[in-house]
Amino acid sequence: MKQALIIFLGFAVGQSMAQGEWTMQQCMQYAVEHNHEVKRAALELDNYKATKTGSIGRFLPSVDASIGAQYNFGRAIDPETNGYTDVSTFYNGYSLYASLPVFDGFSRIHALKAAGASVLMGRQALRQKQDQTALNVMQAYTNVVYYEGLVKMADEKVQETELLLKQIRLLEEVGRKSAADVAQVESQKAEADYELTRQQNRYASAMLELKKTMAFPMSDELRVKSEECPFGLPSYHDERMAAANSSLLALHSSLQVARYQVQVSKHEWRQARAALLPALSLSAGLNTTYYHTLHSTGGASFGNQFKNNMGEYVGATLSIPLFNRLQTVTNIRKAKNNYRIAQETYMQKQIELEKLSREAWQDWQGYLKQTVQMVEKVEADSIAYQLTKRQFEEGLSTAIDLRTTSAQLLNSKATLLQCQLMTMVKEQLVRYYRGETIWSSERRAEFTPAIPSD
């Protein structure tokens, strides 16, 4: 009963979230948990962990056991007399073998270090996929809110033109407006209907894109909470959030992926150079046999032969590389080049992140100013439209003037909405480049990694 109650409560919570409005934070968290690219990155991380486990296992001895059975027909060697015999015999052998590499040019040590760096790289790659998924969801969410706002504006425009059309028809009946004026307003009404349909289609496409990015079921309803987005001037302006410095950029997941790739390449290069050194290994084992002549009642029992034929041995093997058709030299050269490539990639990523960080800061400041300017423009356009509408009703302006001011007001409102949404997006990007996790309250650990030297 307790387990059933827990399942029922979980299902009820899931249904309430599905039926309610989703905030941008909820959409990003859902995407991070369900996105397919994030899941693939998690599986790749598990592969890196498995590789590290295998690297640890290379320090342990290998133990093998074998059992063999053989029937001899015709001419064969008799194990008892070591001479040839023509009778059919049965031969059974048992062996246990163990080997331990003692020295291999430190190849295993570098392989373990490379595997450890790969695990760290896999964790940061997973974080990078999570961050990128959250950014994609944020962009898709913003598009949905933007087109939802345009749909509301277009719907208000339809209602307004319907009311205006009724007024114009009444004025036509009393002789204050002509049929041409009515036709022009009817054209505006048809244009408003067309614009509403177009924005509704764009909103539906944006919603599908958001569901795809979130890995959300396409058939389920998803409603976003547009009230979460700032529809007014942002209330603060933090000068300390200017372009992130090098210590903050070093916390970025994509830069840490490149950094750990440098470490992996460095240890792989050293592992390749280890092939030039000799390798020493120890081995030990024991074996025994059982022999029986077919169709014969004589011979020692299985227990006696198993004990009497038992043999043990120990050994050491020193392998000295002399010439392997230049394969070792080729592998070392390629590994060294890969290490240099990883270093260049790391330094290039540093420059790119610094550029993107400064660009996000500049865009944020620009959209803050544009939002202030567009607020004033919307107010001015709204006054101009109301005055033109009043003049049109009194016969002092034409329908073309009314249409022009109406389109100008609608365009200003759409631009203002876009500026407000982009202000929010760019602010999140600034926080993202400062090392903050925008899709949860968690923050990255603060440390300053340095690129490893030769």
Q: What is the pLDDT of residues 34-86, one digit of tens each?
A: 999 999 999 999 999 999 999 999 999 999 999 999 888 877 776 667 777 77
Helices assigned H by DSSP within 284-326? 302-308
Handedness of CA 426, 431, 433, 438 (dihedral sign): negative
**Residue 445 in this model has a pLDDT that exceeds 80:** no
pTM (predicted TM-score): 0.80
CB neighbourhood size of 103 (10 A): 14
Q: How confident is the model at residue 447 (pLDDT cuts 50, 70, 90)?
A: very low
Contacting residues for 417 by C-beta, under 8 A, at least 6 apart: 146, 149, 150, 231
Task: Average the pLDDT over 97-119 and give the result.
Answer: 95
CB distance 95 to 66 below 8 Å: yes
Phi, psi of 313 (to 5 degrees): -155, 155
Describe the strand order of the beta sheet including 279-293 as a list of residue ranges: 62-72, 89-103, 279-293, 311-319
pLDDT at residue 436 is higher than 50 = yes
Q: Is the dihedral of CA 138, 141, 145, 147 positive or negative?
A: positive
What is the mean predicted confidence (pLDDT) over 331-342? 96
Residue 432 or residue 14, greater confidence: 432
Would the pLDDT of 1 be above 90? no
How is residue 227 annotated by DSSP? G
DSSP 71: E
Residues paired with 75 in a beta bridge = none
10 burial type by CB count under 10 A (0-12 exposed, 13-18 middle, 19+ buried)? exposed
User: What digits encode the pLDDT tens for the residues 385-404?
Assistant: 899 888 877 777 787 888 88
* Strand extents, DSSP E, 295-363: 311-319
Mean pLDDT of 103-123: 95
- Type of residue at 449: P
Confidence grade of residue 247 (pLDDT, cut at 50, 70, 90):
low
